[in-house]
Amino acid sequence: MARVYEDTEDFNIWPTFTDISFAILLVMIFIVLGQYLIIGRILQVNKIKQEQALVRSALQERFAADFGDAIQESSQPQFQKITFSDKVLFDTGSARLKPEGQQILTTIAEIINAVKNKCSFDEIQIRGHTDDLPIHGSKLYQTNWELSSARATSVVRHFVDHCNLDPGQDILLSAQGYSQYDNIRANTDDVNRALNRRIEIVIKYPLAY
């Protein structure tokens, strides 16, 4: 009887030394890449914090009497927020800047112009906020939407018209009205409502990753 020989090929389920070495190399590359990204982010955040400290120091110096009270500052890695009570800039129910409000905003613009070449921020948002009380008797602003938006726009116009801030070349400027819908306190009493009526200047810092 003739023997039949089948063509067979040994199949080795165990990885070779080359496979293991390549896998280890990939893992090391991912670890190094991850560390590089983490270190890069830390360095970037630290740089932004230094820039924010520069702005904060200028605010404390120029507004020594009002800083921390009528004028407040807070920051996170991607933005720095300067908050004003509405009465600092505007009369009740009005979007027309008071003379002292104009002076305050001019000082803010001077600070921005002085530090912008040392800082990486590229956008400033002006945010108007109100409380929940409806507007009565105003021919210009029927709701808090119109009032909050008009106040934010007044701040932007002052920056552009009187403070040499070019929204097309230097920094992107925008005006945003939030009405009563981004409150920091519940509108339950006069004290909380006064805190909710505010203007925020939000300086945005870009994070690459």
pLDDT tens, residue by residue, 84-113: 999 999 998 999 999 999 999 999 999 999
Please say if the pLDDT value at position 50 is more than 90: yes
Query: CB-based contacts of 65: which residues, under 8 Å, 6+ apart?
Result: none
Position 206 confidence tier, pLDDT thresholds 50, 70, 90: confident
Q: Is residue 9 part of a domain?
A: no
Q: Is residue 11 part of a domain?
A: no
Q: Which tokens sit at 168?
A: 């097309």
pLDDT tens, residue by residue, 145-202: 999 999 999 999 999 999 988 777 768 999 999 999 999 999 999 999 999 999 999 9
Q: Are 66 and 82 in contact (CB under 8 A)?
A: no
One-letter identity of residue 164: N
Q: Is residue 76 part of a domain?
A: yes
Beta-carbon count within 10 A of 117 CB: 7
Q: Are 204 and 122 in contact (CB under 8 A)?
A: yes
Task: Name the range with the highest mean pLDDT among 64-68, 118-122, 187-191.
Answer: 187-191
Q: Is residue 179 part of a domain?
A: yes
The pLDDT value recorded for residue 27 is 79
The pLDDT value recorded for residue 69 is 85
- Overall domain count for the chain: 1
For residue 126, the domain's CATH number is 3.30.1330.60
Q: Is residue 40 part of a domain?
A: yes
Alpha-carbon gap, residue 40 to 48, rounded angstroms: 12
Q: Are 56 and 70 in contact (CB under 8 A)?
A: no
Q: Is residue 10 part of a domain?
A: no
Alpha-carbon gap, residue 115 to 58, rounded angstroms: 9
Q: Is residue 74 part of a domain?
A: yes
What residue numbers bound the domain in which 80 lies?
26-204
Q: Is residue 196 part of a domain?
A: yes
